[in-house]
């Protein structure tokens, strides 16, 4: 039996034989095509790793009862995804050492293939919880039309399966102390919010440097802020926002997420808080990648249409906003109030939320 070697373990012979230059086959090798292939292949390897981590997070958080230890592990895996995303963002710098003119040496040979056909990218989007209804259409067709039969099946299977958004939403909705018989948090929070908003309104009204028109505009804006806050206290108003697509989380999940953000200094809420923050980072990094990729596309091909046939840069730029998944978590900041205004927790509840050392 031959000993295991570095090359055998990593199947390097196979791996390093996977870079076939289309330009070489066409008889005019383009120097930068190797960089183009290596960059895309490394992306796909990292996508594979991200899917592996997301699967683990969904499995840990998707059970009927989530043990605190599992929250810590899920967080660890999510933080790894965040670290990988930073590498994915940096890889764009490497690819951009290829100039638009260098790209033209082989670009036409790639038609009609496109990153749009990356099945793993679609799987990541679906596993995160991007909804079909949110997706911008590509050439007036659903996204899977660009995939071959095998990829279409694998992407559809992921779309049907559990996704991170749903799993987190269900976990949040089960948070126990949001509605406690001994502590009417929402009544106290509402009173403090009203006080805070009254103070803000008085500041606008008293600003000497504002013109009358500017003051009226700011006060009109302020009425909207008050209405937004009301949606926290009135489930019907919240549901109306949800129906119009301005909220996605269920009402109980939203309240729990807000409580976690407000009381995150309580030891037991540390991991949930960090988990929600990691989800915000995952969403933010993906948006930043979409934006960087769109800029790179603009820089490389200008206003030409993509090899896959869409309006290229324009389509990609619009996905930055349209394809966000955890927008509700970003919007939680609207409802934060200063620590000094936070209703104090009853002692018993505080103790329950603390760490205990049983000697
Ligand atoms: C020279 C560099 C690149 C150019 C000019 C480029 C161009 C484009 C264009 C024009 C599209 C829109 C679809 C189409 O019509 O083809 C697209 C989509 C896409 N590309 Fe790239 N791309 C480049 C590099 C990359 C890299 C390194 C990746 C990494 C995997 C990538 C992944 C994707 C993905 C996932 C999509 C679909 C995005 C979505 O639908 O939201 N691209 N690309």
pLDDT for position 311 = 62
d(CA 230, CA 233): 5
- CA 281 centroid distance within chain: 7
Q: What is the pLDDT of residues 1-10, one digit of tens each?
A: 789 999 999 9
Respond yes or no on whether the N-terminal peptide bond of residue 112 is cis (omega within 30° of 0). yes
**CB of 46 closer than 6 angstroms to any ligand 1 atom:** no
Question: pLDDT band at residue 220, thresholds of 50, 70 and 90?
Answer: very high
**CB of 316 closer than 6 angstroms to any ligand 1 atom:** yes
Q: How far is the CA of 296 from the centre of ligand 1 (A)?
A: 9
Q: What is the pTM (predicted TM-score) of this model?
A: 0.94
Mean model confidence pLDDT for the chain: 93
Q: What is the pLDDT of residues 139-168, one digit of tens each?
A: 788 999 999 999 999 999 999 999 999 999
> If DSSP codes are grouped into helix, strand and coil, which group holds residue 141?
strand
% of the chain at pLDDT higher than 70: 97
Task: Please give the C-alpha separations between residue 21 and each of 34, 301, 325, 356, in angstroms, as whole numbers.
Answer: 7, 20, 36, 61
**CB of 297 closer than 6 angstroms to any ligand 1 atom:** yes
The more confidently predicted of residues 260 and 307 is 260
Please give the span between the terminal C-alpha atoms of the chain, in angstroms, as a whole number. 54
Q: What is the pLDDT of residues 77-98, one digit of tens each?
A: 999 999 999 999 999 999 999 9
Report phi then psi at 223, rounded to 5: -60, -40
Q: Average pLDDT, stretch 213-235?
A: 90
Atom of ligand 1 nearest to the CA of 114: 16
Question: pLDDT band at residue 59, thresholds of 50, 70 and 90?
Answer: very high
Q: The tokens of 253 are what?
A: 């999940």
pLDDT for position 269 = 93
Position 308 pLDDT exceeds 70: no
Task: Name the residue with the closest Cα to ligand 1, atom 25.
Answer: 115
Instruction: Tell which residue, 151, 327, 139, 341, has the closest CA to residue 242.
Output: 327
Q: How far is the CA of 116 from the centre of ligand 1 (A)?
A: 6
Question: pLDDT band at residue 356, thresholds of 50, 70 and 90?
Answer: confident
Question: pLDDT band at residue 121, thresholds of 50, 70 and 90?
Answer: very high
Q: How far is the CA of 317 from the centre of ligand 1 (A)?
A: 11
Q: Which ranges of the chain would DSSP assign to H, the alpha helix?
A: 6-9, 12-15, 22-25, 33-61, 68-95, 100-104, 119-128, 149-160, 164-173, 185-206, 212-233, 235-243, 251-262, 270-301, 313-322, 327-331, 347-352
d(CA 122, CA 128): 10
Q: Average pLDDT, stretch 70-76?
A: 97
For a substitution probing ligand 1, which of 90, 293, 305, 323 has the most ligand atoms within 8 Å of its CB? Answer: 293
* DSSP string for 188-229: HHHHHHHHHHHHHHHHHHH-TTS-HHHHHHHHHHHHHHHHHH
Q: Flag the least confident range among 65-74, 248-257, 307-316.
A: 307-316
Q: How far is the CA of 290 from the centre of ligand 1 (A)?
A: 9
Q: How far is the CA of 62 from the centre of ligand 1 (A)?
A: 32
pLDDT for position 359 = 57
Q: How far is the CA of 139 from the centre of ligand 1 (A)?
A: 15
Phi-psi bin for 122: left (phi > 0), alpha (psi -120 to 50), beta? alpha
Burial of residue 280 (number of CB atoms within 10 Å: 0-12, 13-18, 19+):
middle
Question: pLDDT band at residue 108, thresholds of 50, 70 and 90?
Answer: very high
**CB of 289 closer than 6 angstroms to any ligand 1 atom:** no
Q: Flag the least confident range among 59-68, 309-318, 341-350.
A: 309-318
Question: pLDDT band at residue 358, thresholds of 50, 70 and 90?
Answer: low
């Amino acid at each position: 039996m031959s000993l295991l070697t570095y090359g055998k373990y990593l199947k390097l012979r196979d791996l390093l034989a996977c870079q076939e230059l289309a330009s070489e086959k066409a008889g005019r090798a383009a120097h930068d095509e190797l960089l183009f292939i290596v960059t895309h292949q490394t992306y796909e390897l990292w996508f594979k790793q991200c899917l592996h981590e997301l699967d683990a997070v969904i499995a840990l958080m998707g059970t009927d009862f989530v043990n605190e230890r599992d929250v810590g592990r899920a967080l660890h895996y999510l933080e790894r995804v965040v670290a990988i995303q930073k590498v994915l963002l940096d890889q764009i710098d490497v690819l951009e050492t290829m100039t638009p003119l260098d790209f033209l040496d082989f670009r036409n040979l790639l038609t009609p293939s496109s990153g749009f056909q990356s099945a793993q990218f679609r799987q990541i989007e679906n596993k995160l919880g991007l909804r079909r209804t949110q997706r911008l259409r590509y050439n007036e067709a659903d996204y899977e039309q660009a995939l071959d039969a095998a990829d279409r099946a694998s992407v559809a299977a992921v779309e049907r399966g559990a996704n991170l958004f749903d799993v987190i939403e269900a976990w949040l909705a089960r948070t126990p102390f949001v509605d406690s018989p001994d502590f009417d948090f929402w009544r106290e929070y509402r009173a403090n919010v009203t006080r805070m908003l009254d103070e803000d309104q008085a500041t606008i009204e008293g600003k000497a440097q504002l013109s009358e028109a500017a003051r009226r505009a700011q006060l009109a804006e302020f009425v909207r802020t008050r209405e937004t806050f009301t949606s926290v206290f009135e489930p019907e108003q919240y549901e109306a926002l949800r129906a119009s697509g301005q909220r996605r989380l269920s009402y109980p999940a939203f309240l729990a997420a807000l409580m976690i953000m407000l009381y995150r200094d309580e030891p037991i809420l540390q991991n949930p808080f960090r988990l929600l923050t990691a989800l915000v980072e995952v969403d933010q990094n993906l948006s930043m990648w979409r934006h960087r990729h769109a800029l790179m596309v603009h820089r490389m091909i200008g206003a030409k249409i993509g090899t896959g046939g869409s309006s290229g840069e324009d389509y990609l730029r619009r996905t930055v906003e349209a394809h966000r998944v955890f927008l509700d978590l970003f919007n939680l900041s609207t409802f934060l109030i200063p620590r000094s205004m936070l209703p104090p927790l009853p002692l018993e509840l505080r103790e329950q939320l603390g760490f205990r050392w049983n000697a």
